[in-house]
A and B are shown apart, each in its own frame.
Chain A
Amino acid sequence: MALLEIEPFRLLIFLGGLIAFAALNAAYLVWLERKVAAHIQCRIGPKEVGPFGLLQPLVDGIKLMSKQLLVPGGVDPVLFKVAPLLVLVPAVMSFVTIPFGENLAARNIDLGLLMIFAFASVNVLGLLLGGWGSANKYAVISAARAVSQNVAYEIPMLITVITMIMVTHTMNLNEIVKQQEGMFWHWYLFRLSANPLMFVSFLIFFVCSLAETNRAPFDLGEAESELIAGFHTEYSGMGFGVFFMGEYANIVIGCSLATVLFLGGWQSPIGVASGWWWFLLKVYTLIFCVMWIRWTYPRTTLWGLLNLSWKVLIPISLFNLLLTGATIKLWSFFMGAA
């Protein structure tokens, strides 16, 4: 335990732990997704391999690693090989600032929130390079769709985050969680004194994080029934595996951010026994909601998607911004006068 005090070792242990967390998540979120999908569809998911199919991700991983890494002729070799990494690495790096518990953040960066969003925008590059570098018309179509989708949905997300920063006065994620101490009505989701429409802000943030990670109903990039597999059509074996891992890591990041900003992070809802277990419980509840949404709704069209962003989410989030500013000012005025 003394090793944890010495700074370089502490960081290395945490980074090792984070990579393990990201890898385990990528593997077992696939298992969870298949089980959730199965029970929604009134069937049992994987069950043969291991009890409740728990060894299924292991076997799938071995299968993916044993496949030949096909590089089709005519692709741009650099772009083709770099694209999956550009999706996976920023997601794993964003884990560095997320506070799993009171002292359980790899590095408490003061600009943590900004850093996560900076890395999230690199994700789009990965899709574009993967699609373009594949020398496949289907992949190019899907890459173009993915870029316009990601650009359109970053804007309401960032406006909502700016709204939250107006309330929290800090970008340090651990500080934001500490401000939500107490019973569950202290969480920012219920902080109506800052913004009466906080629930709408949460919804906008959640929908935008669904769109950023290309999850249904916004998965035009990988629309299975139209474009075979979209930007990752030409990837086989571990290349496809890395794209998959990147997608699930992004989902975990999005849900962790939503938990930290709105649901109190590692704070317990009853005021006692706060810790990393509450954080994980909340994150996995949100991930369950993400999967539940995927298996319920059909896919939007490109026009419907862009309309939703530009005509619905952006006006409402801008209105929220103004409302929050006005509410904070009025509240401090009345509290100051009282």
Chain B
Amino acid sequence: MNDLACSPNQETFVINLGPQHPATHGVLRVKLTMDGEYIVHAEPVLGYIHRMHEKMGENRTWAQFMPNTGRLDYLGALSYNHGYALVVERAAGIEVPERAEYIRVITVELNRIASHLLWYGAFVLDLGGFTPLLYAFDDREHILDLLESVTGSRLTFCYFRFGGVYNDIDDNFITGTRAFIKRLRSRLPDYHNLVTKNVILINRLKDVGMISAEMCRRYGATGPVLRGSGVCYDVRKNEPYSVYPELNFDIPVYGECDSMARYMVRMDEIEQSLRIIEQGLDKLPEGPVMAEKAPKIIKPPVGDYYAAVEAARGTFGIRVVSDGTNTPYRLKLRSPTFSNLSLYGEACQGMLLADALALMGSLDLVIPEIDR
């Protein structure tokens, strides 16, 4: 920092992309040192919304921590529920009935589509196009209504339990989901024609914000950021869990490493999630939704356990250390957005401010998840 401040021939000034800003989705502060319109140095400052979820994990019983997982990344809360349920089921050795697994996958994929739709709207809003946000929210309302009729909440779900799910789904949900799949499939071409093929947007995103695969590996970036740089890594295929091995879907990978590649990865993921939901609904078996032998008070045996799931933003890892009592000894949450954001300082050096904001939008940040 000192070199930059005293370097000759360079009149730089420090600007604060402050905690309150329309484009940083959440309370993120980025200290930018700028030379005119070019960024010389960028430093994200975190911690404005640190709520000590990991500490809360040590003071709550295993079942009482489930609502906390929904508050980490509130846009894709069901994946986080899934991760936590997986790790405790692995620790305590609880078997989940097959109907519950299928319901879990269907609801998680619906949640993923909702999260990607909101990202799409907010990203194009950052770039100046105000309308696609409203169209995406219209579709997202249908998903939220479907999930509300099953779980009771629209955003911060607390639906999964150790050994299954809380409520069963009914026929209204199944017909509603099939109607929604048809509706979204008919609206996606509109989204592509309005936004993806628009020459202004292509000029804005192509060859902008290059993140090489090597940079991703150094910082541990996962999810669409990694898949937009050419590396085919998805927890659902590399370390399969739940019923994903029985479902037929592709992992979209684009090798161009620019913001357009990350955009296309997420749009294609919406299509693939629709495929997964359709197959899930076709293959849904009858049966109970909660394991009979699931104990009411869970006390996993002493040990160190880890599980990872593919959340909407990347690999969500959760590690629990149990000491045999009814509260965890240590609960560590590996948030994907934290690793994705850490490459921002290096990636946006020498870029224009507008391009740096496009890069931030394409990383799909949810700040409460970074600060936990």
Contacts and interface: CB of A to CB of B under 8 A. Distances in A.
Q: Is there any pair of Cβ atoms, one from A and one from B, under 8 angstroms apart in the complex?
A: yes
The A interface is mostly helix, strand or loop, or mixed, namely loop
A220 B204 CA distance: 13
A301 B138 contact: no
B352 A298 contact: no
A226 B353 contact: yes
Contact of B200 (A40, A42, A297): A297
Secondary structure of the B contact surface, majority rule: helix
A162 interface: no
Contacts of B126: 225-226
A226 B23 contact: yes
A225 B125 contact: yes
B131 A301 contact: no
B203 to A, nearest CB: 5
Contacts of A217: 128, 200
A319 B128 CA distance: 32
Interface residues of B, number: 29
A224 interface: yes
Contact of B201 (A42, A298, A302): A298
B13 to A, nearest CB: 6
B198 A298 contact: yes
Contacts of A301: 203-204, 352, 354-355
B353 A137 contact: no
Interface in B137-177: 138
B287 interface: no
Contacts, number: 77
Given A300-B200, A301-B355, A304-B203, A37 B128 contact: no
A154 interface: no
A117 to B, nearest CB: 27
Contacts of B15: 137-138
Contacts of B354: 220, 223, 226, 301-302
Nearest to A301: B354
Contacts of A181: none
Contacts of A296: 129, 131, 194
Given A141-B37, A298-B124, A304 B200 contact: yes
Given A225-B357, A297-B200, A137 B13 contact: yes
Interface string A23-38: 0000000000000010
A43 B141 CA distance: 14
Nearest to B354: A301
A41 interface: yes
Interface in B1-36: 13, 15, 21-23
A179 to B, nearest CB: 36
19 contacts: A41-B130, A42-B134, A141-B37, A141-B353, A145-B37, A216-B128, A219-B128, A220-B354, A223-B354, A225-B125, A225-B127, A225-B128, A298-B124, A298-B200, A298-B204, A299-B129, A300-B200, A300-B204, A301-B203
Given A216-B128, A226-B357, A295-B131, 9 more contacts: A40-B131, A41-B131, A42-B134, A217-B128, A223-B128, A224-B128, A296-B129, A298-B204, A304-B200
Interface of B: 13, 15, 21-23, 37, 124-131, 134-135, 138, 194-195, 198, 200-201, 203-204, 352-355, 357
